[in-house]
Structure 1
Amino acid sequence: MTLWRIRATVDDRPGYLSVLTASLALRGVNILTVAVHTTEAGAVDDFLVDAPAALTAADLVAAVERGRGRDCWVARSEAQGLADQPTRALALAGRLVQDPDALGEVLRSLLGADTVTWRPVPARAVAARAVEPGGRRSGSETMRLADPAGGSFEVLRSAPSFTPAEYARAQALVDLAAGVARRAAERVTLVLPDGAELTVRPATVEDLPAVRAMHERCSARTLHRRYLGAAGGPPPTKLRRLLDPAAGMGLVAVASWPEGTPERVVAMANLVVEGTLGEVALLVEDAWQRRGVGSALLRRLVRHAGQAGYAALVAHTHADNVPMLRTLDRVSGPGPVERDGALLTVTLPLGGPAPAADRAGQSEQGAPQTPAATEA
Structure 2
Amino acid sequence: MRRNARVPATADLLCEVCGRLPEPAKTRLTLAQVATILPIELLVHALVVGTHLPFLIKVAVLTVTATLLVIWVAEPSVKRLLRGWLHAPALRGRRRLDDSPALWRVRTTLPDRPGALQRMTRVLARADINILSIHSHLVDGGVLDEFVLEAPEAITEQHILDALEDGGGRDTGVWSTTALALADGQTRVLSIAARIAGDSTELPLAIAEMLGARVTDGATVVVPDAADRTTLKVPTTDRGPMIFSRPGEPFTLAESARAHRLAELAEIVELTAATRNRRG
Give TM-score, length-normalised by structure 1.
0.45
Alignment match, 2:55 = none
Alignment match, 1:78 = 178
Alignment match, 2:136 = 36
Q: Distance in 1 between matches of 2:263 and 2:218?
A: 12
Tell me if 1:181 matches 2:270. Answer: yes
Match of 2:250 among 161, 182, 186: 161
Tell me if 1:49 matches 2:149. Answer: yes
Alignment match, 1:65 = 165
Alignment match, 1:192 = none
Q: Distance in 2 between matches of 1:77 and 1:155?
A: 21
**Residues 94/135 of structure 1: CA separation in 2 closer, same or farther (3 Å cut):** closer
Match of 2:240 among 151, 157, 166: 151
In the alignment, structure 2 segments of 5+ residues that lack a partner are: 1-100
Q: Distance in 2 between matches of 1:100 and 1:69?
A: 39
Give TM-score, length-normalised by structure 2.
0.60
The answer (yes or no) to whether the contact 1:145–1:154 under 8 Å persists in 2 is: yes
The answer (yes or no) to whether the contact 1:7–1:47 under 8 Å persists in 2 is: yes
Match of 2:126 among 10, 26, 34: 26
Match of 1:12 among 86, 95, 112: 112
Give the drift of 1:150. Answer: 6.2
Q: Distance in 1 between matches of 2:155 and 2:106?
A: 13
Judging by fraction of residues, say which structure has more helix: 2
Alignment match, 1:211 = none
Give the drift of 1:114. Answer: 2.5
Give the drift of 1:50. Answer: 0.9
Q: Distance in 1 between matches of 2:268 and 2:121?
A: 41
3-state SS, counterpart of residue 134 of structure 2: strand
Q: How many residues align?
A: 178
**Residues 38/54 of structure 1: CA separation in 2 closer, same or farther (3 Å cut):** same
**Residues 15/27 of structure 1: CA separation in 2 closer, same or farther (3 Å cut):** same
Larger of the two Rg values belongs to structure: 2
Alignment of 1:1-376 (within 5 A): 1-117=101-217, 134-136=225-227, 140-149=229-238, 151-188=240-277, 200=279
3-state SS, counterpart of residue 168 of structure 2: coil
Give the drift of 1:134. Answer: 4.2
**Residues 171/116 of structure 1: CA separation in 2 closer, same or farther (3 Å cut):** farther
- The two structures, once aligned, show a CA RMSD in angstroms of 2.0
3-state SS, counterpart of residue 171 of structure 2: strand
Q: Distance in 2 between matches of 1:84 and 1:159?
A: 24
The answer (yes or no) to whether the contact 1:33–1:84 under 8 Å persists in 2 is: no
3-state SS, counterpart of residue 135 of structure 2: strand
Alignment match, 1:235 = none
3-state SS, counterpart of residue 188 of structure 1: helix
The answer (yes or no) to whether the contact 1:6–1:75 under 8 Å persists in 2 is: yes
Q: Deviations over 1:324-370 (max 9, x none)?
A: xxxxxxxxxxxxxxxxxxxxxxxxxxxxxxxxxxxxxxxx6xxxxxx
**Residues 86/182 of structure 1: CA separation in 2 closer, same or farther (3 Å cut):** same
The answer (yes or no) to whether the contact 2:235–2:242 under 8 Å persists in 1 is: yes
Give the drift of 1:149. Answer: 3.7
Counterpart AA for 1:32: L
3-state SS, counterpart of residue 145 of structure 2: strand
Counterpart AA for 1:26: R
- Greater than 3 Å deviation, 4+ residue runs: 116-119, 132-135
